Amino acid sequence: MPTQYAYFEKQFMPLAEAKIGVMTHAFNYGTAVFEGIRGNWNADEGQLYLFRVREHFERFARSCRILKIDLPYTLDEYCDLTLKLAGMCGYEEDVYIRPLGYKAGQVVGVKLHGIQDDFLLFVTPFGPYLDVEEGARCGTVAWRRVDDTMIPARAKVTGSYVNSALAKTEAIENGYDEAIQLNGNGTVSEGSGENIFIIYRNQLITPSPSDNILVGITRETAMTLAHDELGIETIERSIARTELYVADECFMTGTAAHVTPVIEVDHRKVGDGKMGPITAKLQKLYFDAIQGRLPKYKHWCTPAYAKARVRE
C-alpha cells in the first residue's frame, strides 16, 4: 500500500505523524468544518480523477464563514494542495479526500471568536459506501435533522455529525441500511450522509435547502445530468414522509454514496422494490461522468497524476 500522507500544520508529512493535542478546541467542542472529496480511479486511463474539487472548496469556504474559521488560503491554493497530496499518495483505487478547517487553539471555553484556526488534509482509500447495485433499505428515524436555528445543516460542521451518527446507528440497529431524517416540520430532510430524491409521475423532486439539508454537490450533479441529458427538471420542495411510500422511484446522492437507489422505506417497497429506470439512467451517467468518461463533463474531473499510471 502506498505511504499515506497528510498536509498538517502547513507541511506535508506521513499521516501517522499528523497528531493534534488533547486540548484542541475542535476536538473538545466539535468546532471544525470539513469536506469529503472523491478521487475516482479510472483503470483504463491509469488516472485518478478528483471530482468537482473547486465546488467542494467553495462550500468549505462557506462553512468556514459560518463557523468564523479564518484561513489564509485561496480557492486555488486549496485545490493545489489537494492535487499535490493526491499525487504524493499515488493510489490506484478510489479514494476519499478530507479537508478540515478547525479551531486549533489549545483553549478551554465555549465560543467561536478569538481562537487560532488551522487547516489539514488527508487522503484514504475508500470503496463503496452503500450498495449502489441492489439499492438501500431505508428507515425514517426518530432523530430530527438539526434546524438552521440550532446548527446550520448547510455548513458541514463536525459537531453536527453527532445528529447524523445518532440517526445512522438507529437505522442500522433497526435493521435498515441507511437513515432518513425528517426536519422539525416533519417533512423529509436527508439521509445521514446523502441527499434524497423521489420520482413521482415522471417528476423528479428533492427537498429544498430550507428543509435543513446539506446542499450536496452530488445532488447538484444529479440535477444537472437529469436536466441536460434526460430532459427532466428537478422540483425543489418539501416532501411528506408518505410521499416516499408512494413514489415510483427513490434514490440518494452523496460523495460517499454516489447515486444509490432506495428500494425500501419503512418496510414498504419503493415501486417494484428494484432500481427504477430513471435512477438507472442517472446512475450510469453519473458513474461515467465521475470517471472522466463523458467529454462534456470532463471539466468536473481533475486528473491527479501528471503521467498516466497504466499497468502492464
Q: In this chain, which of 24, 31, 40, 255 binds ligand PLP, going by CB under 6 A?
A: 255
97 vs 164: CA distance, rounded Å: 20
Residue 72: Cβ-neighbour burial (10 angstroms; 0-12, 13-18, 19+): exposed
- The backbone torsions φ and ψ at residue 310, rounded to the nearest 5 degrees and listed phi first, read -95, 125
Cβ distance to ligand PLP smaller for residue 33 or 104: 33
Q: In this chain, which of 24, 63, 158, 164 binds ligand PLP, going by CB under 6 A?
A: 164
**Which is the catalytic residue, given 19, 84, 103, 156?**
156
C-alpha cell read off for 305: 497524476
Report which of 141, 237, 144 is spatially closest to residue 197, judged by C-alpha positions: 237
DSSP 183: -
To the query of whether residue 68 is one of the catalytic residues in this protein, the response is no
Cβ distance to ligand PLP smaller for residue 56 or 103: 56
Q: In this chain, which of 82, 195, 206, 291 binds ligand PLP, going by CB under 6 A?
A: 195
Cβ distance to ligand PLP smaller for residue 164 or 302: 164
User: Is residue 155 near ligand PLP by the rule CB under 6 A?
Assistant: no
Q: In this chain, which of 217, 247, 262, 275 binds ligand PLP, going by CB under 6 A?
A: 217
Residue 56 CB partners (closer than 8 Å, separation 6+): 35, 36, 37, 99, 217
Q: How many CA atoms lie within 13 A of 205 on its CB side?
A: 19
| Contacting range for ligand PLP; rule: CB under 6 A; set: 12-20, 130-138, 197-205, 247-255 | 247-255
**Least CB distance from residue 33 to ligand PLP, whole Å?**
12
Cβ distance to ligand PLP smaller for residue 14 or 209: 209
Report which of 189, 139, 204, 211 is spatially closest to residue 169, judged by C-alpha positions: 139
Report which of 220, 170, 175 is spatially closest to residue 195, judged by C-alpha positions: 220
User: Is residue 90 near ligand PLP by the rule CB under 6 A?
Assistant: no
Cβ distance to ligand PLP smaller for residue 209 or 273: 209
218 vs 256: CA distance, rounded Å: 9
User: Is residue 39 near ligand PLP by the rule CB under 6 A?
Assistant: no
**Least CB distance from residue 254 to ligand PLP, whole Å?**
4
Cβ distance to ligand PLP smaller for residue 63 or 105: 63
Beta bridge partners of 240: 187
User: Is residue 219 near ligand PLP by the rule CB under 6 A?
Assistant: yes
User: Is residue 214 near ligand PLP by the rule CB under 6 A?
Assistant: yes
Alpha-carbon distances of 298 from 164, 289, 291, 308, rounded to whole Å: 32, 7, 9, 16
Q: In this chain, which of 118, 170, 177, 194 binds ligand PLP, going by CB under 6 A?
A: 194
155 vs 2: CA distance, rounded Å: 32
User: Is residue 189 near ligand PLP by the rule CB under 6 A?
Assistant: no
Catalytic residue ranges: 156
Applying CB under 6 A, the residues found at the interface with ligand PLP are: 36, 164, 190, 193-195, 214, 216-219, 253-255
